[in-house]
């Protein structure tokens, strides 16, 4: 992995040299990306390349990692105080006249919490985005609070985080971590990341991994025990903070951040259904959130908020809705827009799709656009999936609402009627699930698919006599959804079927269906069923 087009410089500080890379125009706001353990700055390459279109992006190898030199002796050379010295030296070199926006992952986040809570950095940092790395001071207070006021829930939280932190204990042992990283662990690490974290292969991590990891063990030894036992009493963030919490992080419990508002009053929370190495697995999502947050702070706002109740879950996520030109499709697109998602409105009617995208932007979507496609056209759907992935990344949530209705008895329905209806209602769903779902599976970081079925799909009613073709198509969609749910569960992809009655029925107005869709994704529900209104069931 390389930082294509990066400008490199060496910054001297505290007897070492730091390797610093820059992308983008220096006159733009500066975003500093700080890597974690056992990575080097190249872990940020995908995010850095995307941010460089809008910002002056700076990355550096933490002391003892990548192409930066290591302190001698190693013991005592990796304290948070010395890491802060390094950060200030880099900032003074790359942005002497303006504060910078910091984004930290893993140990990059741990040390960045120090940068934004000590007095000597005030005025040099404009904002901080934290990924998978708590402040050791906050962590220490979190532990102390649970020990002082124990409850069954708090005890479970302590035990749970203690189990997730197994590697910390190992890294404190003498010599063994160094031998492991320079031996079998270092050789197998890329394969382990790809298997368990779904990190794409290639030339990640850096060739310096064994040495980086051996040196980086001192990050833990020099800091963890001391800070957890005696945390600072005033570790308050003096800048706006954006916290991004991967819900699938194998090393850090989301509950670790329950009381963070105490220490970071200007806090924006985000959650992401992903694993620990989000800079490599979800660069598009991180880029969108960092861009939005930095732009807001540069514009004088300290938080990024939307009116939707699910903004922390879907803000910035890519949501594709087929049949979004009106009815349930439009209502669904707007529901995700209100939660701050990036919304792609797909419909065969260009004017209706464009209107939905316009409304989505007004409702709070972080981005919204329209695509004109007939979902029954397999080749057109293939081109749409390819175009979407190339321009916007892999879809996070796919909602298939596109469909056509057909009334009339079975004997009055022609073969051509059947073909036309099944092409849209069934094969449109098949094309969409196969193409976008395949991209989700290949990415390896999960996702969700929602297919719209009908209430009568699982419980035929008297009304079914007038809708045999429609009900048959929707029953097939329900069965397909249940099969897909079973098949894709191991890949972390949820599949839901939302069964509803006529769009204008009393119980199932489009807005209510849309809310059911959002909740189906949030709660990973398999099938959402509602009865038709009594006057419809008994017709």
E strands in 430-469: 447-454
Count other C-beta atoms under 10 Å from residue 196's C-beta: 12
User: What 3-state DSSP class applies to 298?
Assistant: helix
Answer whether 157's CB lies under 8 Å from 146's CB.
yes
Q: Which residues pair with 269 in a beta bridge?
A: 243
Distance CA 520, CA 516 (A): 6
Other CB atoms within 10 Å distance of the CB of residue 272: 26
Residues sharing a CB contact under 8 Å with residue 151, sequence separation 6 or more, in sequence order? none
CA-wise closest residue to 290 among 84, 88, 33: 33
SS3 498: strand
**63: Cβ–Cβ under 8 A, 6 or more apart, which residues?**
16, 18, 69, 70, 71, 77, 78, 82, 83, 86
Written as one string, the DSSP assignment of 158-173 is HHHHHHHTHHHHHHTS
Q: Give me the residue label for tokens 């009908």.
A: 454
Q: Is 167 a catalytic residue?
A: no
So which residues are the catalytic ones? 470
């Amino acid at each position: 992995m390389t930082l294509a087009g990066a400008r490199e410089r060496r910054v001297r500080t505290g007897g070492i040299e730091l390797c610093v890379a820059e992308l983008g125009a220096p006159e733009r706001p500066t975003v500093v990306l700080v890597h974690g353990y056992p990575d080097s700055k190249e872990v940020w390459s995908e995010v850095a390349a995307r941010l460089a279109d809008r910002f002056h992006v700076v990355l550096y190898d933490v002391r003892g990692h990548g192409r930066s030199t290591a302190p001698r002796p190693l013991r005592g050379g990796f304290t948070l105080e010395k890491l802060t010295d390094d950060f200030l030296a880099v900032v003074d070199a790359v942005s002497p006249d303006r504060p910078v926006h910091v984004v930290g992952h893993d140990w990059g986040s741990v040390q960045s919490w120090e940068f934004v809570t000590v007095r000597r950095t005030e005025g040099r940092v404009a904002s901080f985005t934290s990924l998978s790395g708590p402040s050791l001071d906050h962590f220490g207070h979190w532990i102390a609070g649970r020990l002082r006021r124990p409850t069954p829930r708090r005890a479970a939280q302590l035990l749970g985080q203690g189990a997730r932190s197994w590697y910390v204990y190992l890294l404190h042992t003498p010599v063994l971590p160094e031998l492991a990283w320079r031996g079998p662990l270092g050789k197998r690490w890329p394969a382990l990341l790809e298997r368990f974290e779904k990190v794409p292969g290639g030339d990640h991590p850096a060739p310096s991994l064994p040495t980086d990891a051996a040196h980086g063990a001192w990050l833990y030894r020099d800091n963890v025990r001391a800070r957890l036992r005696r945390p600072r009493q005033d570790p308050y963030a003096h800048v706006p903070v954006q916290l991004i919490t991967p819900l699938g992080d194998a090393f850090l419990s989301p509950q670790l951040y329950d009381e963070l508002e105490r220490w970071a009053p200007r806090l924006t929370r985000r959650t992401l259904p992903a694993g620990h190495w989000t800079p490599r697995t979800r660069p598009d999502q991180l880029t969108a959130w960092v861009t939005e947050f930095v732009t807001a702070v540069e514009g004088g706002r300290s938080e990024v908020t939307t009116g939707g109740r699910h903004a922390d879950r879907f803000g910035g996520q890519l949501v594709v809705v087929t049949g979004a030109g009106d009815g349930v499709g439009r209502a669904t697109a707007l529901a995700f827009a209100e939660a701050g998602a990036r919304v792609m409105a797909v419909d065969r009617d260009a004017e209706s799709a464009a209107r939905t995208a316009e409304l989505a932007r007004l409702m709070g979507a972080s981005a919204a656009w329209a695509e004109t496609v007939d979902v029954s056209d397999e080749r057109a759907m293939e081109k749409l999936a390819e175009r979407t992935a190339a321009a916007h990344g892999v879809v996070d949530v796919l909602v298939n609402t596109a469909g056509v209705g057909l009334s009339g008895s079975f004997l009055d329905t022609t073969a051509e009627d059947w073909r036309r209806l099944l092409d849209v209602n069934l094969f449109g769903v098949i094309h969409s699930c196969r193409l976008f779902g395949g991209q989700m599976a290949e990415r390896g970081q999960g996702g969700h698919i929602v297919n719209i079925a009908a209430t009568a799909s699982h419980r035929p009613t008297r009304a079914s006599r007038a809708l045999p073709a429609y009900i048959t198509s929707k029953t097939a969609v329900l069965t397909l959804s249940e099969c897909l749910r079973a098949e894709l569960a191991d890949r972390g992809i949820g599949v839901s079927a939302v069964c509803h009655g006529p769009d204008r029925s009393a119980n199932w107005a489009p807005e209510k269906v849309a809310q059911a869709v959002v909740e189906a994704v949030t709660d990973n529900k398999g099938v959402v069923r509602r009865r038709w209104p009594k006057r419809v069931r008994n017709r």
